[in-house]
Amino acid sequence: MTPEKLFDTTADFYLQLIHPDLEDAGFRRALDAFCELRGELDFDLALALLQDRNWRSRLLGLVVGALLSEWSLAPAVVELIKEPIGISIVPAGAWLMVQHQRAPTFSPEIDLSEFDLGLFDGEVVWILTRLQALREGTFTVDSEATGPNFKQSLQSQLALYALLCSVN
């Protein structure tokens, strides 16, 4: 499948990925329909979406990567945070957190000096400090924690990626 075909097939599903609500029946239906595409998705598609300079593509790339459990995409996800485009920062951090929990050997080293920590109202540093805390074993999920720029719930993002990578 090509990125264009995925966008055509999923319509505006990417919008629901900004603030995913696993308790919402409409979101679950859209998510289930997305998961049915699994056989048509692959690493190359996920990578192409992640490397696009468009937050819509990046959100779809993250869910494709999680659904396929393509943890070798972790360096591309780190690059996404190094060169952030708005709404994809918190989802990318959540993806890396789930990846680290599921396949820590694929977790790339993160050097904070390589990031512009002030971007997007400090959302880059906000997500990276939580990722580091997870790696150090000191992270706890605060149900009220939202990214400072787009107010995306970290807990909701974590739940989405954990669910996707558990789909068989």
| Domain limits, the chain | 3-165
CB 22 within 8 A of CB 164: no
Distance CA 105, CA 40 (A): 27
For the chain (168 residues), the mean pLDDT of every run of 10, in chain order, is: 97 97 97 97 98 96 98 96 91 97 90 85 92 91 86 96 90
pTM for this prediction: 0.95
Distance CA 161, CA 82 (A): 20
> For residue 115, what pLDDT is reported?
87
> For residue 168, what pLDDT is reported?
65
Q: How many CB atoms lie within 10 A of CB 152?
A: 24
Q: How many CB atoms lie within 10 A of CB 66?
A: 26
